[in-house]
């Protein structure tokens, strides 16, 4: 989607800057020109605006958040379609200046229970309010939990929410695809069914991640992760961080149960249990949380207050004070009245010096305040608030910083599993921080996911392969052996993953090492059937080459000789030559006298002889009258015999 910065949406909302962009929509900071206030405008990508299902989800988000009034839920203020200018479906929300919980975890890693509970308790408080009116969020994850600059926790993105007030038009497939698979409950993955216990499961996973610094399940693709959520039990957080209190560990383990009936029934029950644990963790200090669980009390009209009667003790104290002060006042007055003119001038001078001194002090204070103000707001001490540029390209961020009079510098590029290559991970100062006017903001830019190519190891020895893998930030895995025709013994046949695949750092690469060519016992078939020898030797893996020769001793089809000789081990695939008898080279001419031409020809051909037929006479039925050579004569197989029929 093209950048719409500067556009006027619905004749009312002027888009100031792009805050974030996702697969479905982009969010802009904007000014509501009608009410002169800062808002956030979420605009659906144009290519999705033609899809009724996505538009329905977009409007569902507005309705879901608008149906809830809670301090920990991002308030929705407007929704509509831009009629003029760029066509757009939009939602107007309160502008939350701050970061997502994902950004916070990226910087902090894991948190202690004392740090984590003030974040999760407001989330559960907001969800409890939603669950009370039958709305289920269905997409709780760190990216949808906002932490404002003033510390307020807000839940955003009710785009997958369902409830009686909202209808149920989303399909099972779309909800599973749109939801974040790392936080989906087993019932959402299997059946696409979600209720308040599904939100409880997601919050349990988020709390697990906050306390341990990692998700319970990892995988190369979403299908693997979803499979683990369905088939594996989420481990106890204490298995990764033993210092987690037992009660908190058991509550998380219960909330992430594969069986929904074993979890807290809704966010309210989860919240109550978590507050009890929070009080036990620090019983001396009254627990304070950022969420407001009670509705605001109605404000009664201001009435004119009656003057209160002063307590007797205070009246007594004042009367005594007046008795002490009054004589002094009288004495001072009488003294002034009786003093001479010269004394009055002296007193006036003293008062003038004091006034002069006070004026000097006041002037010094004003000058000091002026210098401090000039230093902070105009001079070298002036500070510029740094906007959040996480997720933007360096070019876009530089454009924003240049407009503020700041210099941009890429400090380093690092790998990231979450931020795409070329996008900014964080800045220093981070968004919301301050820097001197004309100062430098350093950026940490993502190089994308850290992946390394599996080298081609076929034909190498394992020791050489291990060094290549180490140099390529990979690890040699298990070794298995297999026979090979082509690869010499001790060399690598293949790898898993295969050569050329892109894998994560320190991935284990398993190898298959050659045992050389397999040796097989070749039996001797001399004097046995050539057909049997051909079949059995071929099935054993040998390449059999038969040769057929005449032999006066062996019958036709019998093996005369075998090379190499049988009864020894030979490499599988070796060539074995079999010499097979074609029988005697000579054959006796059969007696076909008085047989018809057809019968005689058949008998002669069966004896491997060629036949020439000569016909004489006028008889209807002709028979053989002469054979040449004569019957009984020995001739070579394939010789020609002439018969005369008449």
Q: Same domain, yes or no, for 205 and 275?
A: yes
Within a domain: residue 340? no
Q: Are 165 and 136 in contact (CB under 8 A)?
A: no
Determine which one of 3, 10, 32, 139 is catalytic: 139
Q: What percent of the chain has pLDDT over 70?
A: 80
The residues, ordered by sequence, that sit 6+ positions from 8 with a Cβ below 8 Å of its Cβ are 14, 15, 33, 84, 85
Choose one of 396, 414, 446: the last residue of a domain.
446
The residue-averaged pLDDT of 530-543 equals: 91
Q: Same domain, yes or no, for 124 and 264?
A: yes
Q: Same domain, yes or no, for 175 and 42?
A: no
pLDDT number for residue 324:
39
Q: Is 510 a catalytic residue?
A: no
Task: Compute the distance between CA of residue 36 and CA of residue 144 in angstroms, rounded to an integer.
Answer: 27
CATH of the domain at 64: 3.30.200.20
Query: Looking at the predicted structure, is the pLDDT value of residue 286 above 80?
Result: no
Strand-pair partners of 480: 512
For the record, the structure tokens of 516 come out as: 């050389």
pLDDT number for residue 335:
44
Q: What percent of the chain has pLDDT over 90?
A: 40
Burial of 584 by CB count in 10 Å (0-12 exposed, 13-18 middle, 19+ buried)?
A: middle
pLDDT number for residue 170:
35
pLDDT number for residue 334:
44
Q: Same domain, yes or no, for 75 and 106?
A: no
Give CA separation, 177 vs 33, 223, 229, in Å: 37, 10, 15
Q: Same domain, yes or no, for 202 and 187?
A: yes
Of the candidates 603, 577, 574, 578, the residue with the CA atom closest to the CA atom of residue 590: 603
Task: Compute the distance between CA of residue 122 and CA of residue 471 in angstroms, rounded to an integer.
Answer: 48
Q: Where do the DSSP E strands lie in 340-488? A: 383-385, 407-414, 424-428, 434-436, 440-446, 451-453, 475-482
pLDDT tens-place string over residues 509-528:
999 999 988 888 889 999 99
C-alpha 3 chain-centroid distance = 26
Within a domain: residue 316? no
Top-confidence range, 17-31, 87-101, 340-354, 459-473:
459-473
**Lowest model confidence (mean pLDDT) among 187-191, 229-233, 392-396, 419-423:** 187-191
Top-confidence range, 4-13, 75-84, 179-188, 230-239:
230-239
The residue-averaged pLDDT of 256-264 equals: 93
Q: Same domain, yes or no, for 549 and 602?
A: no
pLDDT number for residue 61:
67
Within a domain: residue 287? no
Q: Same domain, yes or no, for 537 and 601?
A: no
pLDDT tens-place string over residues 406-419:
899 999 999 888 78
Query: Looking at the predicted structure, is the pLDDT value of residue 219 above 50?
Result: yes
Q: How confident is the model at residue 337 (pLDDT cuts 50, 70, 90)?
A: very low
Query: Looking at the predicted structure, is the pLDDT value of residue 368 above 80?
Result: no
Q: Same domain, yes or no, for 244 and 164?
A: yes
Within a domain: residue 222? yes
The residue-averaged pLDDT of 395-411 equals: 88
Q: How confident is the model at residue 293 (pLDDT cuts 50, 70, 90)?
A: very low
Start-to-end C-alpha separation, the chain: 101
Task: Compute the distance between CA of residue 200 and CA of residue 127 in angstroms, rounded to an integer.
Answer: 9
Q: Same domain, yes or no, for 177 and 34?
A: no
Query: Looking at the predicted structure, is the pLDDT value of residue 590 above 80?
Result: yes
**C-alpha dihedral, 413 to 415 to 419 to 425, nearest 10°:** -40
Q: How confident is the model at residue 470 (pLDDT cuts 50, 70, 90)?
A: very high
- The range of the structural domain enclosing residue 393 comes to 383-446
pLDDT number for residue 29:
94
pLDDT number for residue 233:
93
Nearest 5°: the CA angle 303, 307, 312 is: 145
The residues, ordered by sequence, that sit 6+ positions from 136 with a Cβ below 8 Å of its Cβ are 130, 161, 162, 163, 194, 195, 196, 198, 199
pLDDT number for residue 243:
94
pLDDT number for residue 432:
67
Query: Looking at the predicted structure, is the pLDDT value of residue 473 above 90?
Result: yes
Number of domains in the chain: 6
The residue-averaged pLDDT of 201-224 equals: 91
Query: Looking at the predicted structure, is the pLDDT value of residue 117 above 90?
Result: yes
pLDDT number for residue 486:
87
CATH of the domain at 185: 1.10.510.10
The residue-averaged pLDDT of 174-192 equals: 70
Q: How confident is the model at residue 611 (pLDDT cuts 50, 70, 90)?
A: very high
Q: Same domain, yes or no, for 83 and 209?
A: no
**Lowest model confidence (mean pLDDT) among 88-102, 113-127, 151-165, 427-441:** 151-165
For the record, the structure tokens of 429 come out as: 């100062």
Of the candidates 100, 101, 97, 66, the residue with the CA atom closest to the CA atom of residue 80: 66
Within a domain: residue 315? no
Query: Looking at the predicted structure, is the pLDDT value of residue 125 above 50?
Result: yes
Q: How confident is the model at residue 41 (pLDDT cuts 50, 70, 90)?
A: very high
pLDDT number for residue 369:
66
Within a domain: residue 370? no
pLDDT number for residue 524:
92
Q: Are 405 and 387 in contact (CB under 8 A)?
A: no
The residues, ordered by sequence, that sit 6+ positions from 155 with a Cβ below 8 Å of its Cβ are 72, 73, 74, 123, 126, 127, 137, 140, 144, 145, 146
DSSP assignment of 15-57: EEEEEEE-SSEEEEEEEETTTTEEEEEEEE-GGGTT-HHHHHH
Q: Same domain, yes or no, for 462 and 438?
A: no
User: Which one has a higher pLDDT value, 55 or 551?
Assistant: 551
Q: How confident is the model at residue 151 (pLDDT cuts 50, 70, 90)?
A: confident
Q: Could you tell me the pTM of the whole model? A: 0.45
Q: Are 219 and 180 in contact (CB under 8 A)?
A: no
Mean pLDDT of the chain: 81
The residues, ordered by sequence, that sit 6+ positions from 428 with a Cβ below 8 Å of its Cβ are 411, 441, 442, 443, 444
Task: Compute the distance between CA of residue 482 and CA of residue 493 in angstroms, rounded to an integer.
Answer: 8
> Count of alpha carbons within 13 Å of 41, Cβ hemisphere only?
30
Q: What are phi and psi of 564, to 5 degrees?
A: -60, 165
CATH of the domain at 401: 3.30.10.20
Choose one of 68, 94, 120: the last residue of a domain.
94
Query: Looking at the predicted structure, is the pLDDT value of residue 95 above 60?
Result: yes
pLDDT number for residue 326:
44
Burial of 368 by CB count in 10 Å (0-12 exposed, 13-18 middle, 19+ buried)?
A: exposed
pLDDT number for residue 64:
67
pLDDT number for residue 353:
63
Q: Same domain, yes or no, for 108 and 256?
A: yes
Within a domain: residue 432? yes
pLDDT number for residue 290:
43
Within a domain: residue 352? no
């Amino acid at each position: 989607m093209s950048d719409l910065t500067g556009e006027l949406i619905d004749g009312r909302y002027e888009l100031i800057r792009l805050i974030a962009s996702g697969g479905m929509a982009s969010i802009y900071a904007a000014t509501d020109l009608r009410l002169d206030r800062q808002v956030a405008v979420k605009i659906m990508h144009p290519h999705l605006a033609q899809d009724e299902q996505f538009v329905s989800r977009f409007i569902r988000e507005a309705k879901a958040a608008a149906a809830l009034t809670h301090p920990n839920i991002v308030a929705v203020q407007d929704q509509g379609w831009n009629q003029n200018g760029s066509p757009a479906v939009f939602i107007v929300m309160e502008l939350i200046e701050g970061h997502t919980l994902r950004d916070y975890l990226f910087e902090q890693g894991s948190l202690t229970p004392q740090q984590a509970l003030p974040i999760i308790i407001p989330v559960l408080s907001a969800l409890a309010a939603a669950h009370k009116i039958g709305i289920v969020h269905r997409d709780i994850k760190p990216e949808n939990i906002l932490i404002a600059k003033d510390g307020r926790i807000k839940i955003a993105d009710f785009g997958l929410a369902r409830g009686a007030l909202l209808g149920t038009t989303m399909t099972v497939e779309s909800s599973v695809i749109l939801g974040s698979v790392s936080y989906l409950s087993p019932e959402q993955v299997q059946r696409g069914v979600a209720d308040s216990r599904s939100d409880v499961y997601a919050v349990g996973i988020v709390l697990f991640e906050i306390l341990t610094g990692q998700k319970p399940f990892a995988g190369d693709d979403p299908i693997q992760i979803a499979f683990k959520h369905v088939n594996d039990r989420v481990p106890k957080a204490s298995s990764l961080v033993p210092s987690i209190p037992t009660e908190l560990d058991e509550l998380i383990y219960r909330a992430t149960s594969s069986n929904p009936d074993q979890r807290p029934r809704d966010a309210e029950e989860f919240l109550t249990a978590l507050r009890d644990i929070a009080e036990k963790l620090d019983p001396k200090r009254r627990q304070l949380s950022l969420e407001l669980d009670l509705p605001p009390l109605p404000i009664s009209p201001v009435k004119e207050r009656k003057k209160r009667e002063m307590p007797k003790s205070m009246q007594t104290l004042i009367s005594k004070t007046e008795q002490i002060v009054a004589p002094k006042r009288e004495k001072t007055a009488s003294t002034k009245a009786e003093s001479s003119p010269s004394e009055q001038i002296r007193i006036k001078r003293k008062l003038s010096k004091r006034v002069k001194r006070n004026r000097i002090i006041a002037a010094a204070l004003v000058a000091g305040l002026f210098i401090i103000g000039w230093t902070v707001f105009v001079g070298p001490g002036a500070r510029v608030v740094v906007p959040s540029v996480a997720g933007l390209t360096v070019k876009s961020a530089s454009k924003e910083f240049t407009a503020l009079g700041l210099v941009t510098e890429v400090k380093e590029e690092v790998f990231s599993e979450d931020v795409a290559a070329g996008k900014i991970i964080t800045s220093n100062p981070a968004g919301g921080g301050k820097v001197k006017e004309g100062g430098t903001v350093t950026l940490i830019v993502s190089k994308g996911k850290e992946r390394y190519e599996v080298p081609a190891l076929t034909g190498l020895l394992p020791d050489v392969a291990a060094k290549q893998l180490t140099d390529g930030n990979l690890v040699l895995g298990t070794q298995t052996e297999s026979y090979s025709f082509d690869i010499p013994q001790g060399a690598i046949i293949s790898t898993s993953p295969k050569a050329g695949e892109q894998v994560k750092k320190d991935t284990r690469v398993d190898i298959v090492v050659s045992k050389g060519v397999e040796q097989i016992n070749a039996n001797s078939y001399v004097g046995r059937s050539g057909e049997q020898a051909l079949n059995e030797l071929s099935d054993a893996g040998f390449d059999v080459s038969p040769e057929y020769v005449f032999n006066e001793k062996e019958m036709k089809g019998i093996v005369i000789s075998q090379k190499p000789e049988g009864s020894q081990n030979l490499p599988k695939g070796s060539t074995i030559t079999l010499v097979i008898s074609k029988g005697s080279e000579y054959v006796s001419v059969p007696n076909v006298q008085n047989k018809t031409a057809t019968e005689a020809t058949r008998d002669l051909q069966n004896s491997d002889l060629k036949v020439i037929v000569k016909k004489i006479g006028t008889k209807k039925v002709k028979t053989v009258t002469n054979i040449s050579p004569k019957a009984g004569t020995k001739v070579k197989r394939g010789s020609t015999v002439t018969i005369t029929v008449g």
